[in-house]
Amino acid sequence: MSADNPPVPILYSDDVLLAIDKPAGLPSLPDGYNPGAQHVRSLLEPHFGRVWIVHRLDRGTSGVLLLARSAEAHRLLNQQFDQRQVKKVYHALVNGSPDWKEKTVDLPLRVDVGHKHRTAVDPARGKPAVTHLRVLERFAGYTLVEAVPETGRTHQIRAHLAALGHPLVADDLYGSDPVADSFAIMPRLGLHARRLTLSHPILHSVLTFEAPYPDDFVQALEQLRGG
């Protein structure tokens, strides 16, 4: 078995860890409606042997995705995520111009709501969810925002930004209009997992993985800057 020429960009690899730069459009896990479709594990396991998904990225999200290469590493990494010891940094391209430079969103979220299985703000029945936001760059009608989630609720960043009135570009599930300019700016979800910082589960050294913007994200920013 060889790790030569893997089908997705590899950011880091050793005997227990694997960090990849997941392309947008590639699901992290098998699709229950299409079991034969490619997903992260099906592409990587022929090159690296069995791998375990430690956390998930939505199909439309690009960027840093962490996998374990042993059951013990998987267990130890899950502990770090559960204990909020992992720092995740996302860059989000959103609709509109926030009236804040920095903001912490503390809105409880309830997942799997309604027939569209959305995540909804629900102060009564939702679980705690905190996201730290910071404006990185403003454009005409759009803004590039850094999002650092403290908690790991499904669709947390998407739901929190939508609740503030600034849904992600091309996110029709949470408020972007499919016929609006946002879908011309970027035809997929405007979310990129930029950096991930954690402790190596065996060596205990601090590791930071960073994924560069993919071509579609770069082109969207250039278009908005008038380049």
Task: Supply the residues annotated as catalytic.
Answer: 58
For residue 3 the two structure tokens come to: 């790790």
Quickly list DSSP for 178-227. TTSTHHHH-SS--EEEEEEEEE-TTT--EEEEE-PPPHHHHHHHHHHHT-
Residues 6+ apart with CB under 8 A from 209: 11, 12, 19, 64, 66, 195, 196, 197
Strand partners, 10: 20
Q: How far apart are CA 208 and CA 88, in angstroms?
A: 10
- What values do phi and psi take at 97, rounded to 5? -125, 105
* Cβ–Cβ under 8 Å, residues 106 and 73: no
Nearest to 40 by CA among 66, 16, 17: 66
